Amino acid sequence: MSTDGYLTFALGKGRLAKKTLELFEKIGITCEEMKDKDSRRLIFVNEAQKLRFFLAKGPDVPTYVEYGAADIGVAGKDTIMEENRRVYEVLDFGFGKCRMCVCGPEHAKELLKHHERIRVASKYPNIAKDYFYNQKHQTVDIIKLNGSVELGPLVGLSDVIVDIVETGSTLHENGLAVLEEICPLSARMIVNQVSMQMEKERITGLIMKLKEALFRGDKTI
């Protein structure tokens, strides 16, 4: 948590950051410096509004927020669940919508019914573990991958995968299907627990304004 009066935001690099800044603009929070696409800078400041923004790798956003390096973060629900950091999740932005699912070839559906010890590949080992062990009570072997997880069942590494499904086209093009849905996902705002006490007025004011902007149903968000 900063002691210089600045409110610091950690944003996951890429599309989420872009959408978040579009939403912030609707409530008068701007950061012109961030719009320069050629810039390699990582930290941007709005001196007038005493705001600081930095871009981080998505999975690192909850870490910055838990440790107070950022007061506020915006990350996907998938990342928040996987990282399981001590932060407050305060708002669902409603964009970046997708689903966390168990996927695989159709015939693998049977393997999910009889508590068989199967192999599950995922970029999200904690989510996969929680789902299979605590919700399905099925003992499985979890294999951590870093991307292109759909390869798992295609090359015989795993029986199924736990992964994000947005349009479903990656699955479709690779002859795979959604076998079970774990939960819906979207972009969420998270807050450092100490900042929430120390900067209560400023942060709750911000949350209220964002809620209003979202409620107004700005379909462009």
- Give how far Cα 113 sits from Cα of 85, 117, 174, 180, 203, Å: 32, 11, 23, 11, 46
Single out the segment in contact with ligand PRP by CB under 6 A; choices: 40-48, 101-109, 166-174, 180-188.
166-174
Distance in Å, CB of 195 to ligand PRP, minimum: 30
Residue of this chain nearest to ligand PRP (CB atom): 147
Single out the segment in contact with ligand PRP by CB under 6 A; choices: 50-58, 61-69, 105-113, 161-169.
161-169
- The site for ligand PRP, by CB under 6 A, has a size of 13
- Give how far Cα 58 sits from Cα of 55, 115, 124, 127, Å: 9, 33, 13, 16
Q: Is 28 in the site for ligand PRP (CB under 6 A)?
A: no
Cβ atoms within 10 Å of 113's Cβ, excluding its own: 9
Cβ-contact 85, 65 below 8 angstroms: yes
Q: Is 105 in the site for ligand PRP (CB under 6 A)?
A: no
Location of structure tokens 């320069």:
36
The helix/strand/coil state of 11 is: strand
Single out the segment in contact with ligand PRP by CB under 6 A; choices: 53-61, 165-173, 188-196, 206-214.
165-173
The helix/strand/coil state of 159 is: coil
Distance in Å, CB of 35 to ligand PRP, minimum: 24
> Which lies closer to ligand PRP via its Cβ, residue 12 or residue 51?
12
Cα separation, 165 vs 167, whole angstroms: 6
**DSSP β-ladder status, 88-92 and 187-191:** antiparallel
| DSSP one-letter code for 111 | G
Residues 117-156 that bind ligand PRP (CB under 6 A): 123, 147-150
Residues 193-212 that bind ligand PRP (CB under 6 A): none
> Which lies closer to ligand PRP via its Cβ, residue 182 or residue 210?
182
Distance between alpha carbon 67 and the CA centroid of its chain, in Å? 18
> Which lies closer to ligand PRP via its Cβ, residue 29 or residue 165?
165
Cβ-contact 190, 72 below 8 angstroms: yes
Q: Is 169 in the site for ligand PRP (CB under 6 A)?
A: yes
Kindly tell me which residue out of 106, 166, 181, 218 binds ligand PRP, with binding defined by CB under 6 A. 166
> What mask, x for binding ligand PRP by CB under 6 A, covers residues 69 to 98?
------------------------------
Location of structure tokens 């070839």:
105
What residues line the site for ligand PRP (CB under 6 A)?
A: 123, 147-150, 163-170
